[in-house]
Amino acid sequence: MAPFDATHFSAIDMAAVTRLTQAGRLAEAMALLQGKPAPEADAPKDTKRPRPILDMVAPTDGTGAWTAPGADRDTTADAPTQAARPDPAQALRALSERFTKAGGLAAMPNLEGFGQGLGQGLGRGPATKPIPVPEGARFETRRFTSAGGARDYKVYVPSGRTGETLPVIVMLHGCTQSPDDFAAGTRMNALAETQGFLVAYPAQPPSANAQKCWNWFNAGDQQREGGEPALIAGIARAVVAEFGGDATRVYVAGLSAGGAAAAIMAATYPDLFAAVGVHSGLACGAARDMPSAFAAMNGGGAVQARGNGPAVPTIVFHGDGDRTVHPVNGERVIAQATPAEALGTTVTNGTAPGGTRYTRTVRTDEAGRAVLEHWLLHGTGHAWSGGSPDGSYTDPRGPDASAEMVRFFLAHTLAERPTRH
């Protein structure tokens, strides 16, 4: 057999491969991966109509909301329905097996990026509008370097400081996003300006992941003092040291792959983060490799034990219409963060000003402090709730996940938190 030639993979249209694999058209996906022309049947019938990316439909009603495809919209030309969609894990394994037989899987530099793009579905580019910075505030770029690697990050410093230490919120973006894009979509800088805290946005480079996803599914990136957790923790500490952060009030939040990474930070650095926010993410240890990542995202697997670390107060947002990360994963994040002690439970139902219905479950400790919050967003897809359309993958209809996370975070400090296991 002739040796496998991987040089042509840099030119492959991986978006087309993703669509074909999602549709179960593995033979055509294989043809593209082998460098053959894209099949005519895959060409969009209407080039003016935006194509959905996994569970996301581009905003068309003026609200700026990226939501799951509705029954009243014909998406059959672009993506299969939920009932008809094949299991991505099975599809990827089928491709992997066929390439392994051909002797070429190990030589495919873009397959991992393809898998992550297929799974996470955050394919829109970074924000193009400049991030507003009020007079006296700063939004600066830094680089953290350690023996384990290096990452760039941006820091927002609000105006009007008088020397006091400030809380720090570390924001972990989703796949293909950037610090600027995530800042625009979440509006976290505006909250920092009005409520007085620092915001750090670590950036995942394409050199670490082709789709700029945090590698939440790699065993080496789920451990303390190693991999990406060590880099993110190092950035948090660097912000505290340089910008006058309060070491007892450091928090972490993220979306999708960033949400999964945030859950990992809570599990691996409970002595650093006073609380965590997970939006449309997965629990620490939900996957250990690519096939198990697809399985977990589709609702497979089980709740993973937290380990020996104390429970970190956790707030979760997840849409029950999410077709990228199954909503059961939000429940698993909460289950993993639940301490052994008895908790009180309060469930409320409401409707955000923008029309989104939600169910909010709050669990409190003996002192009446909320240590767990789970917001289940009815009809919402894979998008940051209450975000701005200036950033990618947001649903402006609310509720405002950023404001609710900040409220939850600022009620917790390391100094006041009992050791919960």
Give residue 63's pLDDT.
Answer: 52
Domain extent for 109: 7-120
| Cis peptide bond upstream of 399, omega within 30 | yes
Same domain, 233 and 350: yes
pLDDT score at 121: 35
Among 256, 280, 385, 402, the one annotated catalytic: 256
pLDDT in the model for residue 265? 97
Q: Are residues 146 and 78 in the same domain?
A: no
In terms of domains, do 109 and 147 share one?
no
Give catalytic status of residue 256 as yes or no: yes
**Under 8 Å CB-to-CB from 260, ≥6 apart: which residues?**
214, 216, 217, 254, 278, 281, 282, 283, 284, 286
In a domain, 196, yes or no: yes
**Count of structural domains within the chain:** 2
Report yes or no: 187 and 388 within 8 Å, Cβ to Cβ.
yes
Q: How does pLDDT run across 2-34, given as a tens digit for each residue? A: 433 434 444 455 556 555 555 555 556 666 655
Q: Are strands 166-172 and 245-255 parallel, antiparallel or unpaired?
A: parallel
Mean local confidence (pLDDT), 239-267: 97
Per-residue confidence band for 344, with pLDDT thresholds at 50, 70 and 90: very high
Looking at per-residue pLDDT, the higher value among 237 and 43 belongs to: 237
The pTM (predicted TM-score) of the whole model is 0.75
Residues 114 and 157 in one domain: no
Backbone angles phi, psi at 387, to 5 degrees: -80, 180
Work out the average pLDDT over 273-289: 96
Residue 47 or residue 285, greater confidence: 285
Tell me, yes or no, whether 112 and 189 share the same domain: no
Same domain, 319 and 374: yes
> What is the model's pLDDT at position 290?
85
Q: What is the pLDDT of residue 99?
A: 43
Question: For the residues 235-255, what does the mean pLDDT come to?
Answer: 97
pLDDT (average), residues 54-77 = 44
